[in-house]
Structure 1
Amino acid sequence: MLVTVTGGTGFVGAHTVAELVRAGHRVRLLVRGGSAVGAALRPLEVPPGAVDAVLGDVTDERSVAAAVRGADAVVHAASVYSFDRRRRAEMRRTNARGTEVVLDAARRAGVGRVVHVSSTAALFGPGVRVIGDDSPVGASREPYAATKAASEEVARRYQRQGAPVVISRPPALLGPHDPKLGDQVRRLRDTLRGIMPVWPAGGLQIGDVRDTAVLHAALLDPEVTAAHPLGAHFGPGHHLTTREYVDAVRRASGRALPAVFPPAALMGPVGRLTDLVQPVWPWHIPAEHEAIATVGAAVRVDPAASTLGLKPRPFADTVADTVRWLVDTGAVTPRRTGGR
């Protein structure tokens, strides 16, 4: 099967490409720059000849049409994942408009299967504490969640029109080999560096990027999807409190990592101030209001929600593998992990 993957040089996309190649598929990438392909896929042991690439952007109709032409399936993983309000316009353009362009091109090309990579955040909104198979699209006003909700609404519209679209909803993700050192892996790095000693009390749904990649490959298997006919499936993950998260990092690193956990409501004003200051501050401040609000809401996935029957690997393994990768790539020094 020829599978076109958007966002294939990002965290979720690169791991998905590796899993698709292992499953025997041919892969075509839509990428903005060809030089990123090797850097993203080589560490995942993807053979150079297993993928080809079309240069372009998910918001450009011509390049998207070229990328999906002749494809049997499309995995739309391109997305901007950030709580940084400076990237609002970029998130609207890529997350919402990009989904419209890709799904329209896939429909016009007669693609037989489209996996739209959404997010648990697409279901977030005021008062929402549990999400599941029947949850409506969220009504969050926070930039990332709002744009992912908009993109999922596009995917649901295509489903209602009869398009062969299935939705995946990964949780927050960790794991080794993050080509662009995205938000979650960067927070883990900062925790190891000792510059994130304050965490809002609350929780988060979190999983391993490799498990989500397995989900995406499974969603292209007709036998699997015939047995699980729902239009959307959640990425495997765990619901952890922020204390449990930090404790897992402590065990993986062998360090004490002092931390305090004030109520999220008390940290909300700090987040608002961060959002005001960030546009003129030269460095990223990891205390955005959306991040604080997300943890404070502590939204969990209903245990009965579909993951295609896939189970998450132990979170301790995910953290240990991610920490090891951060050390191996020089993102943190060995002394930050007890010399491991």
Structure 2
Amino acid sequence: MNLITGTTGLVGSHLTLRLLEKGEKVRGIFRSEVSKSKTENLFKLYGKESLFPQIEWIQADILDIPVFEKAFVDVERVYHCAAFISFDPKDEEKMRKVNIEGTANVVNCCIDFGIKKLCHVSSVAALGDLKEGEKILTEETEWNPEKHHSDYGISKYGAEMEVWRGWQEGLETVSVVPGIIIGPGFWNDGSGAIFSTIEKGFPFYTTGSTGFVAVKDVVSAMISLMESDISGERFILIGEHLVLRDMAYKIADALSVKRPKINAGRWLTTFAVFADWLASLFGKKRKLFAETSDAFHRHRKFSNDKIRTALGFEFTPIHEYIRETVRIQKGKK
């Protein structure tokens, strides 16, 4: 039996589908019927709705240990995909509680129930800090606590420390560290909003750059690592590095809509953050923060050599997967 936290998210739902296609048993954790319907809708997008009833659902919260630990009965492998993502300073306490304490609970339950192996989904936000002269982030780049990190990055780094603790206590573990994950099914959430925003005619682009990866590659790497003898290791999952402007162009072309035309420089994104904050004083929910504004202009490059060497892994070209994502989302054959 495979237990998946975050079953109703982008990675968790795709992972659930892939494991069921392989004929494996899956127990999925959900918090509400509404969230569960997101996974069901994804199965329908792929024409795999007949597999959905095979999921053994358990309603639980990773912070509610008495209920949560019941999900571990008769489980061999655990995929920990659940996380709270936010760049709102007001969410710092909740983010640390869910991402660090929640992961500690997962690790402790894995140890208590004799789980064979744990796979944790981390983030490039948890990677270290480049020293002078270094240009590419790797799994070994050292975290410098004196440097500035986002609250989200700190929480994911803390989560990784809990996984590392579990490994030291005898639990077999692997961690995957993906960049921006793209895929169908969640166009109103997270990275999926990039597609829906551009489809609506958003006119702006920025010229920062970062790493992207197809959700199907993330899932494939996770399953392969869990089936391997590898333990106590983390692996960066980046399919391709792209300038955000070029990413926007590729998405617009795949959607057959107009490309964004206006370069939003730092002054414009800074003003947008201020205007968004001002609107929040009158009850509007904030969408832009200083951290996201910085990300629009930052250039980061990551090495994916480790996963390529360990598994002979090959990534899907992002331009191909953008077209595939649009095709699946639009129900095109």
With the length of structure 1 as denominator, give the TM-score of the two structures.
0.83
**1:287–1:198 Cα change, 3 Å:** farther
Match of 1:135 in 2: 141
What residue is the counterpart of 1:108 in the other structure? 112
Aligned-residue offset at 1:112: 0.8
- Residue of structure 2 in register with 1:75 after alignment: 79
How far the C-alpha of 1:84 sits from its partner, in A, is: 4.0
Q: Tell whether the 8 Å contact from 2:238 to 2:304 is kept in structure 1 after alignment.
A: no
Cα offset, 1:49, TM superposition = 3.8
Match of 2:289 in 1: 288
| Alignment CA distance shift 1:49-1:188 (3 Å) | closer
Aligned to 2:222, which of 216, 224, 228?
Answer: 216
Q: How many Å separate the matches in 1 of 2:225 and 2:163?
A: 15
SS at match of 1:186: helix
Q: 1:52 offset after TM fit, Å?
A: 0.6
Q: 3-state DSSP class of the match of 1:105?
A: helix
Contact 1:3 1:25 in 2 (8 A): yes
Aligned to 2:190: 183
Q: Deviations over 1:157-205 (max 9, x none)?
A: 2223332111011211111122x7322111221122123x333321011
Match 1:244 to one of 243, 246, 249: 246
| Distance of 1:203 and 1:302 partners within structure 2 | 14
Q: Which ranges in structure 2 are unaligned for 5 or more consecutive residues?
A: none
Q: d(CA) in 1 for partners of 2:139 and 2:194?
A: 29
1:94 is the counterpart of 2:98: yes
Aligned in 2, Cα 1:87/1:194: closer, same or farther, shift over 3 Å?
Answer: farther
Structure 1 pair 236–204 and aligned structure 2 pair: CA distance change class (3 A): closer
Identity across aligned pairs (percent)? 20
* 1:3-40 residue CA offsets vs partner (Å, 9 max, x unmatched): 11000011111001111112222111121124543541
Task: Tell me the residue number matched to 1:150.
Answer: 158
AA aligned to 1:98 is: G
Aligned counterpart for 1:63 among listed residues 67, 75, 92: 67
Q: 1:48 to 1:194 in 2, by over 3 A?
A: closer
Are the equivalent residues in 2 in contact too, given 1:86–1:279 (CA < 8 A)? no
> Deviation at 1:278?
6.4
Deviations 1:291-328 (A, max 9, x none): 22234332221142325332221212222233345545
Q: Distance in 2 between matches of 1:155 and 1:279?
A: 37
Mark the runs of 5 or more structure 1 residues left unpaired by the alignment. Answer: 330-340
Q: TM-score, normalised by structure 2?
A: 0.85
User: Equivalents in 1 of 2:268, 2:142: separation in Å?
Assistant: 28
CA RMSD of the aligned region, Å?
Answer: 2.8
Partner of 2:201: 194
Measure, in 1, the Cα distance between the counterparts of 2:144 and 2:278. 27
User: Matched residue pairs, number?
Assistant: 322
- 1:203 counterpart letter in structure 2: S
Whole-angstrom distance in 2 between the partners of 1:165 and 1:86: 32
Report the more deviating stretch, 36-45 or 114-123: 36-45
